[in-house]
Structure formats: structure tokens, C-alpha cells
Structure 1
């Protein structure tokens, strides 16, 4: 028996089958209208780096895999090795650009929060929520909810250039939310 928590028990939860050992969530994908605007936003505002770009000319789209790198991360320079390394990471954001969408007017993708609801948001944790809010204000980030608004205090929601919601939390402040 393990000495550490293997997850919470809830109806519908089954013990992880041995066949799933080594599975991990690598990335989630958002479609973006203008990759330059989105890359500027995610690199400047959230400190993400493009780990790998893949172009699919025959299908007219590009994929950008972004991550928050640590100082000691060893990102391979050689392209094939970097591709393999990218697909072995956790917590990446894939931005998909369908060529030509940057020419369309306004926001073109459903954010999942308007009707009909579906996808909700991605989330970043930060070391200092109030410093992050000041940083977002300094960078003209669009807010949905500030930390003192609504029923859930100390939780922030902002929008990216395509209108997708981003939750921002400070981990040690989350211990008092929910039951």
C-alpha cells in the first residue's frame, strides 16, 4: 500500500489500471485567429515560450506548443529531439492557427462560456496574485473578474486575444475555497 494519496474517492472513480501507467496530460488546444497577437499575449503576459511550431501546408494550419520553462529545463536544439521532448512534457498549451483567419473581423471563436456553454477556461497559478493583477493592468489585459469580485474571492479571470477565459490563482490562497 502506498503512503501517499492516490486521489479522492468519488462515485464513478475507478483505480487506475496498470495499462495507464505513464499516461499524462501533455497539452490542451485553443484555436487562435491571429498567432502573432496570441503569441505576444502568452509570451509577454504569462511568460510562455514556444517549444515547437509545426506547419501543415497541405491542410493550411500551424500548431504552436507553448510552455512555462524553468531555468534548469534542458530544451533540445535539434528539431526532431525537441519535437519528442515537447510531446513528453506536461501542462503545455497548443495554439492552432487555421491560415487566413487573421483576415476575419472580430473574435471568431466561441469561448465556451456563452450559450451554449461547453469549454470553460485554462488556468495559471502564480506566486503572488495581487502582483499578477497589477501586471495584467499594466499590460491592458481584459478582466472578467478581479480577486475581490464575486463569491469566490482571490480568484481572477482574464481573457486572451480570442476571448478565451484564463483563471489565475495563487495556490496558498486556494486552501480556503470549496469544501
Structure 2
């Protein structure tokens, strides 16, 4: 059997939102993401934007017709029971300073900041109550 060597690194995370403009503004104001590109794909039923901070991108989708997220998807420990991708997580060097930015921008902190299993972390709600985790490294 042939051996393969894979070089894998994070590229982007796709997130569906109800308001593309408001979400672009939120990710820029709260997490310093900048717009890389935008497009509309009417045949597929959505508009999209790529945002970047450093080497990581977020792909935002605004579908012309969308379904609201269920309530249990908005709570970290309840969401674990639903199959599929759970949340996006960012490593940060000063979680307490970032939490202050959350307070200044009226960002809802869902869990933490607290220590658990050797990590200092917190979860917030981003646009449309998506879960976003931050871990201090």
C-alpha cells in the first residue's frame, strides 16, 4: 500500500447568516476580520462574502430562503448532542482582554470564561447566535 504525506491546514469555515451586511460588520468590529471578496450566486440562492483575519477565512452565506437555528444549537453542551459540526474556535493570547472587547460591543458570552481540562476558554454568540469559542494559549 502506498504511503501518502498530507499537509493539511485550516483554510476557512462556512457560516450561514440571515443578514450578510450586519454579519460582515460584526466580524470586522468584534474580531478584526476584513472582507476579501463578495459574490452573488442567484442560481444557487445565496450571496456570500469571504472575510480574513491573518491566515484564516470565514465564508459567510446569506441564503435568500433560510431556516432558523434550533434553540439547542445555541447552547454549547446541548449542541454536542446534535450530530455535525459544532462551533468555530480561535486561539487567543489574552482571553480576559478579548472578553472586555465583548462587553464593550454587547456580545453575549454564553459560557465562561473559565478553566476546564487545562484550558481557559469562553463561548460567545456571534451573528444569528452561532457558537464561537476562544481558548487562551
Q: For the structure 1 residues 91 and 161, does the alpha-carbon distance in structure 2 shift closer, same or farther, using more than 3 Å as the test?
A: same
**Secondary structure of residue in 1 paired with 2:106:** coil
Rounded to whole Å, the distance in 2 between the matches of 1:16 and 1:37 is 46
Match of 1:99 among 56, 61, 64: 64
Match of 1:37 among 18, 22, 42: 22
TM-score by length of 1: 0.62
| Aligned counterparts, 1:6-45, within 5 A | 17-18=4-5, 20=6, 24-45=9-30
**Secondary structure of residue in 2 paired with 1:58:** coil
| Aligned counterparts, 1:101-120, within 5 A | 101=66, 108-110=68-70, 111=73, 113=79, 115-120=81-86
Corresponding residue for 1:60? 45
Does the CA contact (< 8 Å) of 2:20 and 2:48 recur in 1?
Answer: no
- 1:59 to partner: Cα distance: 2.4
Q: Size of the alignment, in residue pairs?
A: 129
**Secondary structure of residue in 2 paired with 1:59:** coil
Listed one character per residue, the Cα deviations across residues 116-157 of structure 1 (whole Å, up to 9, x for unaligned) are 343211012223111101110111111111223x74552111
Rounded to whole Å, the distance in 2 between the matches of 1:127 and 1:16 is 37
**Unaligned segments of structure 2, at least 5 residues:** none
Q: For the structure 1 residues 116 and 24, does the alpha-carbon distance in structure 2 shift closer, same or farther, using more than 3 Å as the test?
A: closer
Structure number having the greater strand percentage:
2
Q: Which runs of 4+ in 1 moved over 6 A?
A: none
Bigger Rg, structure 1 or 2: 1
Does the CA contact (< 8 Å) of 1:31 and 1:109 recur in 2?
Answer: no
Listed one character per residue, the Cα deviations across residues 79-131 of structure 1 (whole Å, up to 9, x for unaligned) are xxxxxxxxxxx531111111255xxxxx8135481753432110122231111
- Confirm or deny that 1:169 pairs with 2:129: no
Q: For the structure 1 residues 146 and 24, does the alpha-carbon distance in structure 2 shift closer, same or farther, using more than 3 Å as the test?
A: closer
Does the CA contact (< 8 Å) of 1:157 and 1:167 recur in 2?
Answer: yes
**Structure 1 residues 114-123 or 162-171, which shifts more?**
114-123
